[in-house]
Every structure is written in structure tokens, then in C-alpha cells.
Homo-oligomer: A and B are copies of this chain.
Amino acid sequence: MMGFSLGSVLMSLGMRSEADQVSVDAITLFVGLLCTCIIIGHLLEKNKWINESITALTIGLCTGIVLLLTTEGRRSHILVFNEELFFIYVLPPIIFNAGFQVKKKQFFRNFMTITLFGVVGTLISFFIISLGSAQLFKMLNDVGFLEMGDYFALGAIFSATDSVCTLQVLNQDETPLLYSLVFGEGVVNDATSVVLFNTLQRFDLSHTTSGIATQFAGSLCSLFFTSTLLGVAVGLLSAYIIKKLYFGRHSTDREVALMILMAYLSYMMAELFSLSGILTVFFCGIVMSHYTWHNVTENSRVTTKHAFATMSFISEIFIFLYVGMDALDIEKWSAVSKSPGTSVGVSTILLGLIVLGRAAFVFPLSFISNLTRKSPDDKIGFKQQVTIWWAGLMRGAVSMALAYNKVFGLVTKPLIRFLLPLRKPLSSMVESELSSPKFLMLPLLQNGHDREVAMNGQNSTTLPLLQNGQDPEVAMNGQNGTTHPRSLCMLLTTPAHSVHYYWRKFDNAFMRPVFGGRGFVQRIPGSPTETVVS
């Protein structure tokens, strides 16, 4: 092999097989379509019914039709998008970025509810879908005989929420509680799914015993714990390395490269050890935004913040574009056309069971969760419960039939507007006043001012009270001034006895001195040159 000499370009040109040419075609077309999606998505932004993912779906669908016509019905998509490609390259940046930009305080305040939804809720949903389909599929002809294990597999697949869809439809700034609950549930139930599937493979499920339940609970706990630990460990290691070596002294690029590579490493290690990569990389993102991000230069901060968001953005559009093309897959439709009655029957039953399974845990678990919440402001209202139930319906529906997902996605945004009108004027005001800097300056000076100061290259002198842990997301979204004063109030009303208070004490006493973090990294005071050197 010629390795990487430029001369070998001619070898590759000469030896380029038909397969290579197809791959260049496909990538060129796909990249072109991605650009088109971004441009059209931007132009249509004002339209409240259409977002970037729906644009990408539509463009994918149109491209699929054109491809079908030009290839005379042979194929509708251009890249063979296998599971491996998705789980190794496309998913990690999306989940990592979600962890990196998540409002940590909001997330950890609802941690118990999220775990309840993600574990107990998924299990309830799993049993309703598995047992329900086992009963109802018997009424259909043509389905053929399925073993109990197949029904359990169906249940496991369709009981998991899709966190990628959630990111597209819910907005962290407009509806922070809903976002953290639904998205957090999506992250946590990935671990549940992994354990569910391992359990299904290992045990004979035709006669369920209490022994299996205990083992299941044990392996779930251990998986949850080890996955989280791995993510936290890799995140802390990156913080420690960058703090000790202080890469920024020489190169912003090295810091950024190391952060990207170590985040990806955490995901791949989790996959390697059969853990939940999604949980791992999510927690790695949280730790990196809390420690590592504060140890790097200003340029690295701006770069990582936007580079991670961009990678996530491209990956999301990629997925929706692909799903649009995939919807026209000949083989799938020919399978449907052979027995249309059965397909419609199966789809209807599954859809019904998903809706029912989700309702069966969202409302009871919300009720239980509300019992532990003292402040009435903090409780999950009925309208919010309806939104959680609805927004979490998006899932494998995409693979069952594109139409379902599209319907759910299209209706969720207006549903939120309709059910939660209290927040609507506020958030839309923020949106419309985005061009006026004054509106933004006010909340930013209250909470996020140290970020903004640091942005201008000056020394960040943080007030202890303001260290409430919301870091890269502050500068990310100018609109979050609406939520911060509330969390600040919370902190003032219940300052001494919250878990958060003890965590912060521990963090300041032991963690930050070792791993860095806001206010624990020495800078040359009053020197504006740091932004220039790097």
C-alpha cells in the first residue's frame, strides 16, 4: 500500500473501482443535501410548524423519490446506513453535546424523577407492550407464531424513548423541567434497555421467577453505576491532564483535540465493555463542562462549546435526512404491500400499546414524584404530565412508519404552546427581542456575568453565590435569564439542607482543587492577552 504519498492519488484514481465511485457520488450528494437542509431550515425558521428536522425529513423524502425514479425503482437511498455507522459515529456527538450543554442543576434536581421514569417507567411500558402484543397478535392472521422471547424483544425495543427526537422538539430554555425529564429519561432508559436485552438473552423467560427479578435489579444497578462511573472517570481524567499539563500554554488545538478524543474514548470504552455508551458519554459531557472546560484557554472554551454543538447539529440533520430517504425503502414497502391488512393491524396494535404503556407510568410516577416535592412551583402539573406523555411517544415509530413520528413531531410543538401558555409569552418575547442587546444584558449581568467577562478576556472573579454550576450553557443560549433567577431563589430559600449545598462544599474542598473548575484555575490577572496567545 502506498500509505499517504500524494503520488498515490493517481494509484487510487487508476484503481478506483465502481464501488468507490458510487461512494464518492453518495457522499457528495449527501453533503450537498446537508448544506441544502441547513439553508432551507434557516429560511423557514420563522414558521412555527417546521423545524430543521422536518425540513431534513422532507428533503430526504424528495431525494428518495427522485432516486427511485432515476434508478427505475431499484433503490431510494444512497448510503447504506447500518447500525454500526449510527452507533459508532452519529450518536456519540449528539449525546455528548447534550451532556455538555445540559442545565446541570435542573438535571440533578430532577434526578430521582428521571431515574424513576427511566427505570421503573420503562419496565412498566415493557411489560404492557410485551404482554399486550402477545395477547393481541393472536387475533391477527398472517402474523405467524412468535415465541414469548420475541414479544419481550418487541417490548424492549418500543419501551425506550428516543432522546434525539426529544432534543429536536423540546427546548431547554423554554421548558427546562420538561426537557430535563423527557431527555433524562431517554438517557437513563438506554441503560435499562441494555440490561433488559442481556436478561432476555441469558434467562429462560417462559417462567419468570423472583430470582430473575433480583438478578435483573442487580445487573441494572451495576450497569447504571459502572457506566456513570466510567464517564465521570474519563471526564475527571481529562480535567486533571489538562490542568496539570496546562496545554493552553502552547496550543488551543491540542486541548480541543484531547477533549474530543477523550469524550469519544469514554463512549467507545463503554461499548467495548458492554456498558451503556449513552449514559457514559452523557456523564462524561457533564463532568467535562463542570471541570475540564474551566481549565482550558478562552479560545478553547468558545471553540469546544460551538464545535460540539455543531457536530451534534450535523449529526442530527444527517439522521433525519437519512430517515427521510429510508422511508421509501422498496423492500420494506413490498413487505407491507404483500399483506396490507396485517401490517396496518400490527402497527395499530403496537401504537396503541405504546400510547397505553406510556400513560400507565407517566401519570402514576408523576404523582409519586410530586409527593416528594414540597414547593407547589416545583410539582409536575397535569398539563406538563400530558406533554411528557406525548413528547416521549416518539421512538421506534420512525422505523415502524415514518408517518407516525412526523405526526408526533409536528403536533408536539403546538401542544406545548397550547398546554403551557404561561411560559409562551415569555419565551416568544425573548425570541423576538433577541436582536436587542439590552434585554439580554440584564439577566446576564445577574447570573452569567462572569462568563461574559471571561469572554472579554478578563479575569473572572466569581462570587460564591453565583457558582451554581451552570456553565457552558449560559453563554450558549442568551435566553436563559428567565430560569436562573428562580434557581437562585431556590438556593437562598433552602440553602443549608439541600444535597446541592453539601455537594458544593465537597466540590470546593476536594474536587476543584484537584480537577480545576470555575475559579480554581490560576490566570494572569488583568491580562487581556490570553485570548491572543493560545
Contacts and interface: CB of A to CB of B under 8 A. Distances in A.
B86 A4 contact: yes
A157 B4 contact: no
A271 interface: yes
Interface in A301-345: 302-303, 305-307, 309-310, 313-314, 317, 319, 323, 326
A179 to B, nearest CB: 17
Contact of A444 (B27, B38, B475, B532): B532
A300 to B, nearest CB: 7
Given A157-B5, A258-B39, A299 B310 contact: no
Interface stretch (A169-177, A190-198, A377-385, A502-510): A190-198
Contact of A306 (B87, B88, B156, B256): B256
Given A31-B268, A159-B7, A326-B3, A257 B314 contact: yes
Nearest to A265: B31
A5 B269 contact: no
Contact of A314 (B91, B196, B260): B260
A420 interface: no
Interface string A158-182: 1111111000000000000000000
Interface string A1-23: 11111111111111100001001
A531 B455 contact: yes
A261 interface: yes
A83 interface: yes
B197 A13 contact: yes
Copies in the complex: 2
Nearest to A527: B437
Contact of A253 (B164, B245, B310, B524): B310
A316 to B, nearest CB: 10
A399 interface: yes
Interface residues of A, number: 126
Contact of A396 (B2, B12, B456): B2
A4 B197 contact: no
A437 B7 contact: no
Interface string A352-392: 00000000000000000000000000000000000000000
30 contacts: A2-B399, A3-B326, A5-B395, A5-B396, A6-B163, A6-B278, A6-B395, A7-B159, A9-B193, A9-B194, A10-B156, A11-B157, A11-B197, A14-B201, A23-B84, A24-B88, A28-B269, A32-B265, A38-B258, A39-B258, A42-B247, A42-B250, A42-B251, A303-B310, A434-B533, A440-B529, A452-B531, A456-B456, A456-B531, A475-B532
Shortest beta-carbon contacts, A-B, top 7: A10-B197, A437-B529, A3-B399, A5-B396, A7-B160, A7-B157, A303-B306
